Amino acid sequence: MKKTTWLVATAAFFLPHALLADSVTRADSHAPIGVMADHFHKKGEWMFSYRFMSMAMQGNLDGNDSIDADTIVTTIPNRFFGVPGQPPTLRVVPLDMDMDMHMLGMMYAPTDKVTLMLMGNYLRKDMRHVTYMGGAGTTVLGNFTTSTSGWGDTTVSALLSFHDSEAHKWHGIVGVSLPTGSTDETDAILTPMNMMPTVRLPYTMQLGSGSYDPIIGLSYSGFGSGLGWGTQWRSTFRLSDNDEDYRLGDEHRVTGWLSYLIADSLSASMRVEFLKRDNIDGIDPNIVAPVQTADPDRQGANRMDAGIGLNWAGQGDLQGFRVALEYSLPLYQDLDGPQMETDAQLILGVQKSF
Ligand SMILES: [Cu+2]
């Protein structure tokens, strides 16, 4: 063989091993930042994380078709019709919504097989609406915005490692979501009768589920030379009614990702995620309004998102320090509508382990 061929063959053999050496932290050893509970830690290790997530919703879908506000208020029945003062069709339509979330996380591994995880979040939601005048027609009365902010639900979980080799890592996720988020937030609304009462806000604007919800999942990560991949399933089950006499729908997420290691410290990723969310079971007797968000049967969703991301992992003196971001857009949405349509999502995260 020629000398250059030998050089290339030797480099091809040793390069992957250099990338996996102990002194190096592969940026892609964590999944894209939008995936929670994606990795476990070595015995005695701690990790603290902060994520900022911003999500925008705009416009409405019924199934997977766009539906405008005029059509909603003339054709979609109001489930509260018959209650005094309630019109036959919906008369208030949400136009857009912004949600910002600050997520604080802590991980600790008492053994190589078990990593414990605690995650809390502080939320802010703003929803802008249009109100139509009276009981029929398409005369607009005005706009109003409702806002809520506060702590959301807190999750406590254990990640149980089944398999841990250089190339393949498998773990199970078992946890519970604790009802630390409020379910009785109020704000002023503009009614079709041109009044501005302060009422309990619809489900979408509340901050928590109000119930203890088990979380179960399974996570896999694979590593080759210069490439990483993985998949995760995670479900949240709502098994009991909250104090307001309802339970949110179960949520199931399945995601898969592929990452390319640009350098040890930097990786780029592509990811898809499927979300299935069921409708609400039961009804809060204090939520009565001619608006889709007040209807427990207009909350279910099937959605597929695609995202691109970057992971950066510190080396040397900065070992254990990470920064990552991910931006995603929905590719497909099928909603029990009319329901607001997800527009885009951005997550920025900082992590430090020691
Ligand atoms: Cu961690």
Between the CA of 213 and the centroid of ligand 1 the distance, in Å, is: 22
Between the CA of 105 and the centroid of ligand 1 the distance, in Å, is: 9
Distance CA 31, CA 34 (A): 8
| CB neighbour burial string for 69-101, b if at least 16 within 10 angstroms, e if fewer | beebbeebebbbeeeeebbebbbbbbbbbbbeb
Between the CA of 117 and the centroid of ligand 1 the distance, in Å, is: 8
Between the CA of 53 and the centroid of ligand 1 the distance, in Å, is: 18
Neighbours of 196 (CB within 10 A): 11
CA angle 187, 191, 194 (to 5 degrees): 115
Decide: 132 and 139 in contact? Cβ < 8 Å: yes
Dihedral (Cα; 190, 191, 193, 198), 10-degree rounding: -80
Between the CA of 75 and the centroid of ligand 1 the distance, in Å, is: 49
Between the CA of 123 and the centroid of ligand 1 the distance, in Å, is: 22
DSSP secondary structure code for residue 203 in this structure: G
Distance CA 48, CA 38 (A): 14
Mind listing the domains of the chain with CATH numbers?
39-353 (2.40.128.130)
DSSP for 132-166, please give it: E-SSSSS-EEEEEEEEEEEE--EEEEEEEEEEE-S
pTM of the model: 0.89
Between the CA of 51 and the centroid of ligand 1 the distance, in Å, is: 13
Between the CA of 116 and the centroid of ligand 1 the distance, in Å, is: 9
pLDDT in tens, the chain (354 residues): 455 555 555 555 444 444 444 578 999 999 999 999 999 999 999 999 999 999 999 999 999 999 999 999 999 999 999 999 899 999 999 999 999 999 999 999 999 999 999 999 999 999 999 999 998 999 999 999 999 999 999 999 999 999 999 999 999 999 999 999 999 999 999 999 999 999 999 999 999 999 999 999 999 999 999 999 999 999 999 999 999 999 999 999 999 999 999 999 999 999 999 999 999 999 999 999 999 999 999 999 999 999 999 999 999 999 999 999 999 999 999 999 899 999 999 999 999 999
Between the CA of 34 and the centroid of ligand 1 the distance, in Å, is: 13
Handedness of CA 193, 195, 197, 200 (dihedral sign): positive
